[in-house]
Amino acid sequence: MADRSKPRMSTIYLYVPNIIGYIRVLMNCVAFGICFSHKGLFSVLYFVSFVCDGIDGWFARKLNQVSTFGAVLDMVTDRISTACLLVILSQIYRPSLIFVSLLALDIASHWFQMYSTFLTGKASHKDVKDSSSWLFRLYYGNRMFMAYCCVSCEVLYIILFLLAKSQSEDVFDVLVFSRKQSLALFLVEVLVLFGWAVKQTINVIQISAPSEVPSKWVSVRILTANDFL
């Protein structure tokens, strides 16, 4: 007999946070479709889509419309949109290896963090109260600090995209030249560079997250998985 306490998938698909997720996907598709012909509009669409990432989470908690489908949709949208922008930057700037490495780090870190969450049986990948890293606990424990770091990354990438005048530019030369162009722009860059650096540090910590999982948790999770084989 079906469990009537659980909402049907057709209902979950129409959750407000998930509808916002669909809109984010659409905005990103349009944004990347016009990124080279309308750089300003691309930046607006991309950033609005990123802001909606926080809005859908607020609606999910406010309306009690949290779902696994929504969490996966949210994370996949985040990773793909950031990945696409990093790929574009790798084609514009040199050394391109910088942006390719950032892409690999971003994907790997989130995969390892989700894997660690699975091993420990936690309900959320943001539950890091038992982590040995104070920075890790601060990042996931303070919503404003985490938002600052995430926004800094995206703003920095958008700034680099807007500053590029041609292909094969040196990313360091562009940043130095922008300092001479505008003091305000330079101050914004310094502000977001700090948040970006913290975010990359968190990504490195996340890769090592599974190594902190007690062996008893690993045994329990493997046994649970084998029960379904």
DSSP 4-21: TTSPPHHHHTT-HHHHHH
Domain-embedded: residue 2: no
CATH number for the domain spanning 71: value is 1.20.120
Catalytic residue among 56, 74, 78, 106: 78
- The arithmetic mean of pLDDT across residues 125-129, rounded, is 73
Tokens representing residue 57 in the block: 């989470």
pLDDT in tens, 47-78: 999 999 889 988 998 999 988 888 889 989 99
Respond yes or no: is residue 78 known to be catalytic: yes
Domain-embedded: residue 1: no
Q: What is the pLDDT of residue 131?
A: 79
56/66 Cα distance (integer angstroms): 10
Domain-embedded: residue 212: yes
Please write down the HEC assignment for all residues of 166-207: CCCEEHHHHHHHHHHHCHHHHHHHHHHHHHHHHHHHHHHHHH
Domain-embedded: residue 225: no
pLDDT in tens, 77-125: 999 999 999 999 999 998 899 999 999 999 999 888 887 777 777 766 6
Q: What's the N-to-C CA distance of the chain in angstroms?
A: 23
- Bridge partners, residue 93, by sequence: 169
Domain-embedded: residue 97: yes
Domain-embedded: residue 228: no
Q: Which domain holds residue 144?
A: 9-217
Q: What is the pLDDT of residue 5?
A: 58
This prediction has a pTM of 0.83
Counted domains in the chain: 1
pLDDT in tens, 172-197: 888 888 877 788 898 999 999 999 99
Query: Given a cut of 50, is residue 204 above it in pLDDT?
Result: yes
Q: What is the pLDDT of residue 213?
A: 56
133/116 Cα distance (integer angstroms): 15
Domain-embedded: residue 3: no
Beta-carbon contacts of residue 228 (< 8 Å; ≥ 6 apart):
none
69/171 Cα distance (integer angstroms): 38
227/171 Cα distance (integer angstroms): 52
- Bridge partners, residue 94, by sequence: 170
**Structural contact between residues 24 and 45, judged by C-beta atoms closer than 8 angstroms:** no
Distances (CA, A) of 139 to 79, 128, 143, 145, 148: 18, 9, 7, 6, 10
Domain-embedded: residue 4: no
